[in-house]
């Protein structure tokens, strides 16, 4: 009853000044709209850019690095065990680039509960023959099914089907830049030369576009067995095992563990791509700062409108107090006004923010760098709406609190005397 009466009075004051109130509410609406749209867009953009890397990059890559043997002859000599060794002109040995005992490693990874999946890979350096010209390129042997499910391989196949790599013998998918240089299209047959001088004929079954031009100019894909054949290597010859984890944050620890366990090199995604996380967090920080700044500005709008209202309604406040409303009641009346402006403006802002995000989502955004993206990316995370609502509530609460407090302190005697 008492609350109802105060809300009733607040409503009366609000309606009497509905134009100014609306202006204050529109301020909140505008800032929440921009906050939602900005965060949705920025976060969509972040996801996109991160996805560009994270989707395609394994969480842990197991490989054998080319490096000098840690056990040089002198280190094996007992006489010089404690001495410092100076060895000049040390060379990387011709140790195998393939992963030793890859079948056992893959079995172990398969049984690891923390692993989402893995795919094997091997890489060959080849020359693509185009008449007289040889174009240097790289050919990766991949398993298209696993590559597709774990690393979104299919997202980057702009024409053709990745599955054809296994279905059609001696088939290849070319990077877009490479295909353009070779003037080939799907169905054509191209010729390659291996570093050992052997020639192969391969049928083009797809075009690949990663978005990174340097890669698209040199990269090509074939099935694992095709590349093993090109390199004339046995079927257990694998240079990379790409592991995807259930929880990406475990990657650094698990990479170290695998290094120990399998006696190979293992690199985690955080070490390999540290710069991307920095980029995303800075973009997020900027969006939040802009959004919160907008809200604070809206808060000042509410502060002003309430101050003005209180100044205009001095007489009403004095009479309310004279007839038995306490300072607390008066404060609550003005708090109701502030909060209803905030909640009403905030809710409209959420709706408009959703609308604006949807509109941005429809704007065409075609760039050669991002083949699968047709419109601006938007992340419709409910978190942003929640944060927006909570912030609009708190800014209006604080913006209202000071004027409401002032109103509660008004001395009716001074007002009544002043007449």
Which residues of this protein are in contact with other proteins, per CB under 8 A?
1-2, 5, 9, 12-13, 15-16, 315-316, 318-329, 411-413, 416-417, 419
Task: Between 282 and 416, name the residue whose CB sits nearer to other proteins.
Answer: 416
Sequence length of the chain is 419
Task: Between 183 and 322, name the residue whose CB sits nearer to other proteins.
Answer: 322
In angstroms, what is the minimal distance from the CB of 18 to other proteins? 11
Task: Between 15 and 363, name the residue whose CB sits nearer to other proteins.
Answer: 15
Taking the C-alpha atoms of residue 105 and residue 111, their distance in angstroms, rounded to an integer, is 10
Instruction: Give the closest residue to 348 by CA, choosing from 385, 376, 316.
Output: 385
Task: Between 167 and 328, name the residue whose CB sits nearer to other proteins.
Answer: 328
Task: Between 152 and 406, name the residue whose CB sits nearer to other proteins.
Answer: 406
Element (H, E) at 134: strand 133-142
Task: Between 9 and 99, name the residue whose CB sits nearer to other proteins.
Answer: 9
Task: Between 15 and 70, name the residue whose CB sits nearer to other proteins.
Answer: 15
Task: Between 115 and 309, name the residue whose CB sits nearer to other proteins.
Answer: 309
Instruction: Give the closest residue to 115 by CA, choosing from 21, 208, 250.
Output: 250
In angstroms, what is the minimal distance from the CB of 379 to other proteins? 45
In angstroms, what is the minimal distance from the CB of 21 to other proteins? 13
Residue carrying structure tokens 């996380």:
277
> How many H-runs (helices) and E-runs (strands) does the chain carry?
16, 10
In angstroms, what is the minimal distance from the CB of 3 to other proteins? 11
Task: Between 5 and 189, name the residue whose CB sits nearer to other proteins.
Answer: 5
From the CB of residue 262, how many other CB atoms can be counted at a distance below 10 Å? 19
Q: Is 184 left (phi over 0), alpha (psi -120 to 50) or beta?
A: beta
Instruction: Give the closest residue to 266 by CA, choosing from 112, 41, 94.
Output: 112
In angstroms, what is the minimal distance from the CB of 7 to other proteins? 12
Taking the C-alpha atoms of residue 144 and residue 136, their distance in angstroms, rounded to an integer, is 23
How wide is the angle at C-alpha 49 spanned by C-alphas 48 and 55, nearest 5°? 75
In angstroms, what is the minimal distance from the CB of 404 to other proteins? 16
Taking the C-alpha atoms of residue 322 and residue 308, their distance in angstroms, rounded to an integer, is 22
Task: Between 13 and 157, name the residue whose CB sits nearer to other proteins.
Answer: 13
In angstroms, what is the minimal distance from the CB of 2 to other proteins? 6
* Pairing outcome for strands 133-142 and 219-223: parallel
Helix, strand, coil shares of the chain, percent, nearest 5, are 60, 20, 25
Q: Is 131 left (phi over 0), alpha (psi -120 to 50) or beta?
A: left
In angstroms, what is the minimal distance from the CB of 23 to other proteins? 19
In angstroms, what is the minimal distance from the CB of 341 to other proteins? 17
Phi and psi at 188, nearest 5°, equal -70, 160
How would you label 273-301 residue by residue, b for 16+ Cβ within 10 Å and e otherwise? eeebeeebeeeeeebbebbeebbeebbeb
In angstroms, what is the minimal distance from the CB of 311 to other proteins? 15
SS3 (DSSP) at 250: helix
Residues ≥6 apart with Cβ < 8 Å to 73: none
In angstroms, what is the minimal distance from the CB of 328 to other proteins? 6
SS3 (DSSP) at 260: helix
Task: Between 1 and 90, name the residue whose CB sits nearer to other proteins.
Answer: 1
Q: Which two tokens stand for residue 271?
A: 């070490």
């Amino acid at each position: 009853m008492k609350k109802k009466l105060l809300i009733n009075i607040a409503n009366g004051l609000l309606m009497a000044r509905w134009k100014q109130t609306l202006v204050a509410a529109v301020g909140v609406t505008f800032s929440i709209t921009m906050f939602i749209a900005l965060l949705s867009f920025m976060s969509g953009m972040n996801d996109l850019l991160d996805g560009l890397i994270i989707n395609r990059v394994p969480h842990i890559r197991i490989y054998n690095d080319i490096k000098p043997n840690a056990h040089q002859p002198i280190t094996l000599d007992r006489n010089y065990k404690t001495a410092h060794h100076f060895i000049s002109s040390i060379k990387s040995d011709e140790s195998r680039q393939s992963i030793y005992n890859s079948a056992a490693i893959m079995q172990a990874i398969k049984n690891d509960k923390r692993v989402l999946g893995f795919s094997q890979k091997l890489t060959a350096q080849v020359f693509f023959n185009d008449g007289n010209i040889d174009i240097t390129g790289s050919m990766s042997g991949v398993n298209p099914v696993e590559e597709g499910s774990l690393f979104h391989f299919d997202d980057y196949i702009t024409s053709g089907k990745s599955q054809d790599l296994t279905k059609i013998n001696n088939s290849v998918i070319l990077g877009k830049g490479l295909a353009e240089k070779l003037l080939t299209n799907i169905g054509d047959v191209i010729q390659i030369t291996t570093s050992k001088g052997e020639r192969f004929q391969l049928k083009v079954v797809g075009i690949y576009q990663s978005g990174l031009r340097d890669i698209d100019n040199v990269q090509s894909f074939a099935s694992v067995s095709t590349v093993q054949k090109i390199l004339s290597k046995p079927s257990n010859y694998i240079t990379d095992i790409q592991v995807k984890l259930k929880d990406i944050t475990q990657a650094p620890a698990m990479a170290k563990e695998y290094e120990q366990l399998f006696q190979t090199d293992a690199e985690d995604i955080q070490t390999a791509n540290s710069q991307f996380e920095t980029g995303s967090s800075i973009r997020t920080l900027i969006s939040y700062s802009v959004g919160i700044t907008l809200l604070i500005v809206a808060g000042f709008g509410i502060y002003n409108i309430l101050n003005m209202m209180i100044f205009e309604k001095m007489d009403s406040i004095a009479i309310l107090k004279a007839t038995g409303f306490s300072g607390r009641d008066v404060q609550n009346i003005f708090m109701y006004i502030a909060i209803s402006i905030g909640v009403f403006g905030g809710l409209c802002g959420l709706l408009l923010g959703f609308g604006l995000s949807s509109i941005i989502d429809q704007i065409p955004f075609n760039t050669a760098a991002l083949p699968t993206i047709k419109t601006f990316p938007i992340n419709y995370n409910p978190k942003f709406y929640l944060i927006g609502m909570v912030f609009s509530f708190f800014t209006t609460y604080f913006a209202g609190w000071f004027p409401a407090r002032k109103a509660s302190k008004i001395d009716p005697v001074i007002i009544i005397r002043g007449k």
